[in-house]
Amino acid sequence: MSRKPKQQPKDDWSKYPFLTQKGIDIIRRYSTPRTYIGMGRYSSYKEYGEDIWRIGYGSKKIGKRWVGGFEKATKQQIEDQLITDLKEFSIYVSQYVFVPLNANKKAALLSFAHNLGLCSFKDCKLLSLINGCASKNAIIKEWSPFINIIWQSGGETLINRRRTELNTFLAPDAEIPTFFPHKCELKQCLLNIPETWNGASNQVKAIEYLERKLVNFDPSGETLRRFFRYWNEMPGGLDSYRP
């Protein structure tokens, strides 16, 4: 009687707070692995001005060994290495973000940081805006490739990447974290969404007062449903180009 092969335990991504499949997909979509030599294999290379060897998506390692000259790797190897690199990278990114973000915002910011590089990311204006709980319009003006001309210099690929990142950052997330327990009067809580909770000591009382007023003003809840519908829509004209 043959034994069934032992199943490998699934990788636990909870240890990597900014690692999401959506973030990985964005990075893959706009990052081209180098240097393809045919037959499903890639060769090592050096970036301009660097003395270290890289392979695939810019990885310095394949598995546990450092990449050397004339190194070869398969497509699967460089894809696996990208995930390994992003696990470590996501930990570094999380050390510079001081506000709670949902999964879509984490995915967008991981792609942005990966493209910019950690040294540039930790001092960039966009990170300061996010950590400072800036308004949506302020974030859009900095991130949109149709407003911030810096991104336009990177060509069509960078423009599309910034647009995808921004749209992902602004997209609603079904999994809204609960930041503070309170007796909510409404079906859709006004307090426990990432865009409104700021940790202020008097915010809970203010939100509860507003919720009671909304119930008295509109018991049907139609006003609040309309508010959330508009809130989750992409701002037209700021993050999108319409000729």
pLDDT of residue 81: 93
Cβ within 8 Å of residue 33, ≥6 positions away: 42, 56, 57, 75, 78
Of the pLDDT bands very low, low, confident and very high (cuts 50, 70, 90), residue 192 is low
Question: Could you state, in order of their start, the residue ranges of all structural domains in the chain?
Answer: 13-93
Q: Which residue has the higher pLDDT, 12 or 161?
A: 161
Cα–Cα distance measured from residue 44 to residue 56, given in angstroms and rounded to the nearest whole number: 7
pLDDT digits (tens, 9 = 90+) for 133-144: 888 888 999 999
Backbone angles phi, psi at 65, to 5 degrees: -105, 150
Cβ within 8 Å of residue 4, ≥6 positions away: none
pLDDT of residue 178: 45
pLDDT of residue 232: 55
User: What average pLDDT does range 71-99 have in this prediction?
Assistant: 92
pTM of the model: 0.67
217 pLDDT above the threshold of 50: yes
